[in-house]
Amino acid sequence: MNQSNLQPLTTKELNYIADSIMNEDLLIKQSVAAAAVSHSNQVQQALNQYIQTHQKHLSMLEESLKAHQNVAPSQTQ
């Protein structure tokens, strides 16, 4: 991401990203649990692909937050 074009995130955007991170994490955990108890190789393979997809989504969300960290307003106390 080009940091010179970044704007600070709004509270609504930050809340949406936080919710999305929690959802992706939950999907990963549920998929890992399902793959662990599945007796079908096809189901396990599909779940492993699903896990990888959601890990990528999680990484993208975290990278987005890190990229915006430098443009976030600082709080003075």
Q: For the chain, what is the HEC assignment?
A: CCHHHCCCCCHHHHHHHHHHHHHHHHHHHHHHHHHHHCCCHHHHHHHHHHHHHHHHHHHHHHHHHHHHHCCCCCCCC
Report the pLDDT value the prediction gives residue 53, as an integer from 0 to 100: 97
Mark the ranges of the chain whose per-residue pLDDT is less than 50. 77
Report the pLDDT value the prediction gives residue 75, as an integer from 0 to 100: 64
Supply the pTM of this predicted model. 0.81
Report the pLDDT value the prediction gives residue 47, as an integer from 0 to 100: 98
